[in-house]
């Protein structure tokens, strides 16, 4: 058997047929990623394989460190080719790690590379990839077109002026690109110095002075309106758990005032302030028909010495074991009680929470649109074959797989689009196997409609993104 051939991950004839007929032709709707809007606006060209593949990839840095590579080859000062060689030397040690699949799938789908990456093949692959990267169809937008990405949503701070998004919309780029509103920094009253610097940027963006909590909420709301006018229909929050300790507006205002004066909020006050803000955000999302994403449970910045040297998002995060279910239920219930629960997608970092998340959201379904509450695709440490299967199985057992809005890359790299192919193969493998066993009907039209929906159309309908404003 060949490694990563056309039958890759598809272990039955039915799975292969379903994939080819219903999954492969569908466009991609990548509604959560961390691509740089600047790169898309400027239609960035990549000078070499390092720039497009290794530049910001903390998954790879972690693997290289685990393989004993010195830091200079990960985030440090080594030359691009030396870093690529260190990655190539790590590759043979990645067997059974999802990076092994992704690496070879990416080399194959982007550059037609059909050999294994290691120290011996490194120079050849570097040359072959770089020759192709010099072509115009390998620009940022060229790649999005090549992978049939119909639409994508980036991840943006409320203080961002969205100038790059405006440029992309004005160019009528083939891939529609939308911002997503991620106000994590608005909850930062535990770290007054960073918080106050950010409030300064918010004042500038909103064109208003922020003297008190009322001004703060009004400025954020103004930014929410601004994002909406730019076509945004999606918010996102990265939290250890849902804050679920309601307090009075007066109390929230006092916590805000103290943080503005340089005094850090206590853990209990952070929870109260976070709850207050998350309720505001939830109401605004509901009012405007947005989708709220909750990424819950990551344990971040775990290596203090290296995070101080290298900064956040450099590969020192892990899976947290925070209690989730009750806090999530309380948060959703508060919004539901007020009649302002928006559409919500919850993503868990800890696989232990799969069934809890899938079941909690089931209590809040209902409304004119199907699948209002979504259990999101396998995230971060779980976006591999096993994690994807776990998520699909938990969702199938507890909710409606047919209404699932599908996979996202959640990636910083333009090289991650084969993740959708990977997901679709795992999905079709599950469905095809059960069809062959007689556990699902031998009815390709019925199964195919579900697969098509999960690959693309459910997300398109669910997010209901408008044509981007062309002004």
Sheet of 28-30: strand order equals 28-30, 149-153, 176-178
Measured between alpha carbons, how far is residue 470 from residues 57, 140, 157 in Å?
33, 20, 22
Find all residues with CB under 8 Å of 364, minimum gap 6, and list them.
332, 333, 336, 341, 344, 372, 373
Quick one: which segment of 257-265, 314-322, 382-390, 405-413 binds Zn ion (CB under 5 A)? 405-413
**Shortest spacing between CB 32 and Zn ion, in angstroms:** 6
In the bound state with Zn ion, the residue whose beta carbon lies nearer, of 410 and 421, is: 410
**Shortest spacing between CB 385 and Zn ion, in angstroms:** 20
Closest residue to Zn ion: CB criterion: 410
In the bound state with Zn ion, the residue whose beta carbon lies nearer, of 80 and 238, is: 238
Hey, how many other C-beta atoms are within 10 angstroms of the C-beta on 26?
19
**Shortest spacing between CB 292 and Zn ion, in angstroms:** 14
**Shortest spacing between CB 410 and Zn ion, in angstroms:** 4
Among 107, 410, 447, 454, binds Zn ion (CB under 5 A): 410
Phi, psi of 180 (to 5 degrees): -130, 145
Instruction: Tally the residues of the chain.
Output: 471
In the bound state with Zn ion, the residue whose beta carbon lies nearer, of 285 and 410, is: 410
**Shortest spacing between CB 211 and Zn ion, in angstroms:** 33
In the bound state with Zn ion, the residue whose beta carbon lies nearer, of 48 and 416, is: 416
User: How many residues interact with Zn ion (rule CB under 5 A)?
Assistant: 1
In the bound state with Zn ion, the residue whose beta carbon lies nearer, of 236 and 269, is: 236
CB 432 within 8 A of CB 18: yes
Helix, coil or strand: residue 29 = strand
**Shortest spacing between CB 441 and Zn ion, in angstroms:** 36
Distance CA 102, CA 422 (A): 8
């690959």: which residue's tokens?
455
State how far Cα 112 lies from the chain centre: 27
421 part of the interface to Zn ion, by CB under 5 A: no
Quick one: which segment of 90-98, 313-321, 402-410, 455-463 binds Zn ion (CB under 5 A)? 402-410
Burial 233-261 (b: 16+ CB within 10 A, else e): bbbbbbbebbbbeebeeeebbbbbebbbe
In the bound state with Zn ion, the residue whose beta carbon lies nearer, of 271 and 317, is: 317
Binding site for Zn ion (CB under 5 A): 410
């Amino acid at each position: 058997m060949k490694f990563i051939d056309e039958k890759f991950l598809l272990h039955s004839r039915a799975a292969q047929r379903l994939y080819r007929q219903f999954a492969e032709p569908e466009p991609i709707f990548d509604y959560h990623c961390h691509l740089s809007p600047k790169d898309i606006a400027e239609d960035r060209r990549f000078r070499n394989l390092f720039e497009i593949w290794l530049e910001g990839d903390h998954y790879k840095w972690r693997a290289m460190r685990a393989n004993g590579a010195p830091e200079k080859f990960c985030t440090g000062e080594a030359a691009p080719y030396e870093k690529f060689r260190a990655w190539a030397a790590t590759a043979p040690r990645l067997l059974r790690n999802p990076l092994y699949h992704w690496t070879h799938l990416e080399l194959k789908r982007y550059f037609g590379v059909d050999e294994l990456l290691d120290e011996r093949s490194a120079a050849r692959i570097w040359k072959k990839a770089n020759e192709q990267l010099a072509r115009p169809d390998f620009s940022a937008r060229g790649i999005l077109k090549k992978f049939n990405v119909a639409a994508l949503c980036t991840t943006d701070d409320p203080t961002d002026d969205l100038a790059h998004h405006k440029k992309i919309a004005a160019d009528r780029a083939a891939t529609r690109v939308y911002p997503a509103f991620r106000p994590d920094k608005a909850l930062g009253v535990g770290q007054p110095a960073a918080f106050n610097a950010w409030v300064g940027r918010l004042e500038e963006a909103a064109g208003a002075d922020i003297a008190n909590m009322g001004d703060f909420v009004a400025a954020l709301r103004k930014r929410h309106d601004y994002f909406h006018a730019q076509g945004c229909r999606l918010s996102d929050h990265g939290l250890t758990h849902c804050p679920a300790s309601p307090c009075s507006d007066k109390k929230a205002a006092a916590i805000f005032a103290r943080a503005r004066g340089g005094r850090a909020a206590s853990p209990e006050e952070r929870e109260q302030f976070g709850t207050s803000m998350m309720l505001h955000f939830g109401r605004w999302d509901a009012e405007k028909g947005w989708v709220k994403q909750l990424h819950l449970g990551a344990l971040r910045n775990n290596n203090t010495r290296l995070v101080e040297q290298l900064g956040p998002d450099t590969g020192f995060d892990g899976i947290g074991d925070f209690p989730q279910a009750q806090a999530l239920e309380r948060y959703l219930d508060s919004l539901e009680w007020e009649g302002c629960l928006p559409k919500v997608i919850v993503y868990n970092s800890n696989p232990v929470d799969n069934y809890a998340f899938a079941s909690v959201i089931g209590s809040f379904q209902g409304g004119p649109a199907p699948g209002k509450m979504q259990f999101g695709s396998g995230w971060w440490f779980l976006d591999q074959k096993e994690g994807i299967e776990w998520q699909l199985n938990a969702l199938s057992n507890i909710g409606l797989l047919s209404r699932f809005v599908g996979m996202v890359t959640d990636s910083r790299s333009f090289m991650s689009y084969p993740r959708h192919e990977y997901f679709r193969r795992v999905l079709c493998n599950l469905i095809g196997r059960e069809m062959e066993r007689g556990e699902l009907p031998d009815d390709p039209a019925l199964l195919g409609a579900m697969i098509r929906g999960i690959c693309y159309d459910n997300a398109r309908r669910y997010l209901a993104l408008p044509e981007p404003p062309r002004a």
